[in-house]
Amino acid sequence: MNKNLMSTINELFQSGVKIKKKVFILSEKSKYENQQQTNDAFSDKWKKYEKENLSEKEYFYEFQKKWYLELYGFSSEKDLKSYLSDKKVILDAGCGLGYKAKWFADLSPNSLVVGMDYSEATFLAAENYHDTPNLVFVKNDIANTNIKNNSVDYVSCDQVLHHTESPQKTLIEFSRILKPGSELAVYVYAKKALPRELIDDYFRVKSKIISKDEMWKFSEQLTELGKCLSEIKIDIEVPDVTLLGIKGGKMDLQRFIYWNFLKCFWSEKLGKQTSISTNFDWYSPSNAFRYDKNEFEQLLKNSNFDVKSYHTEEACHSGRFVKI
């Protein structure tokens, strides 16, 4: 690692960092039981997914990039490139395997992009993208970044905030490290119908005692169920069931069960292994908070953020929010 980059990193953080296998290490283990279980679940997920079929992974990465543009109000990749061009420091908070951090680094070669994650995925990311000169990976808790105040120009926390021990405290941390007027792109899970929420809550407790092998088997079974339901190809006319939070309308049978009772994800385009990984991603972490729109907006208001762009759909709430 060149001396200039090392100097920049030391200048960015409040205290010195050590390097292990090309990764900057600030914290390797959480003191919170649920957070550590969540870290371990994602370490297992990403290690397993890294070994999967390359074409399936590449399709998934491209799908996620296109969705990212939609979630955060960018009209195109060119629009995102222009947006990032004047950002000196970009933080990809909860970077996983690092493909979006790599994307940002390629789009904005004059920026320093920091991919931070609390799982073992940082080591895989650092190995895969070691030849990108403006990209570094840090193993640490995104809720306690150790970055100096008012030092970051853009924080992207895509599909990760709800996996932290306290999403409210994590947002306050993002507000602390962002420069005034800079933006946060963030996504949280949306609350679903009551039967689905009750089953989801059950697994937030059980995930701590179910073995990883059992959870992977369960995820594969859910994928097979989703595939079977999709192949039936029946649309049903659903009535509103207000007290259960079930929204009426015409919908596919698999989608009806998926949104209202049980996440049994299946996508023929994304493939079997990605579908299994998606189901594992949902049911294995202890920390996986869900919010309605008002709750999410209150979290942001409490953290000194104002709305720049807002997106909401059945799965999530997301947008870009300006530090006031």
The C-alpha atoms of residue 257 and residue 268 are separated, in whole angstroms, by 18
Helix (H, G, I), strand (E, B) or coil at 204: helix
Contacts of 295 (CB under 8 A, 6+ apart): none
> Buried b vs exposed e over 243-254: b needs ≥16 C-beta within 10 Å?
eebbbeeebeeb
- Which pTM does this prediction carry? 0.95
The C-alpha atoms of residue 135 and residue 113 are separated, in whole angstroms, by 5
Contacts of 100 (CB under 8 A, 6+ apart): 64, 65, 68, 92, 156, 158
Is CATH 3.40.50.1110 correct for 3-191+292-323? no
Question: Can you give the pLDDT at residue 147?
Answer: 97
Domain residues of the chain, as ranges? 3-191+292-323, 194-283
Q: In whole angstroms, how far apart are CA 41 and each of 99, 212, 296, 303?
A: 19, 8, 25, 28
Q: What is the H or E stretch that residue 20 is in?
A: strand 18-20
Question: What is the chain's pLDDT, residue by residue, as a tens digit (324 residues)?
Answer: 566 777 888 889 998 788 999 999 999 999 999 999 999 999 999 999 988 888 888 999 999 999 999 999 999 999 999 999 999 999 999 999 999 999 999 999 999 999 999 999 999 999 999 999 999 999 999 999 999 999 999 999 999 999 999 999 999 999 999 999 999 999 999 999 999 999 999 999 998 899 999 999 999 999 999 999 999 999 999 999 999 999 999 999 999 999 999 999 999 999 999 999 999 999 999 999 999 999 999 999 999 999 999 999 999 999 999 999
Question: Can you give the pLDDT at residue 3?
Answer: 67
Strand (E) positions, 191-259? Answer: 235-238, 249-252
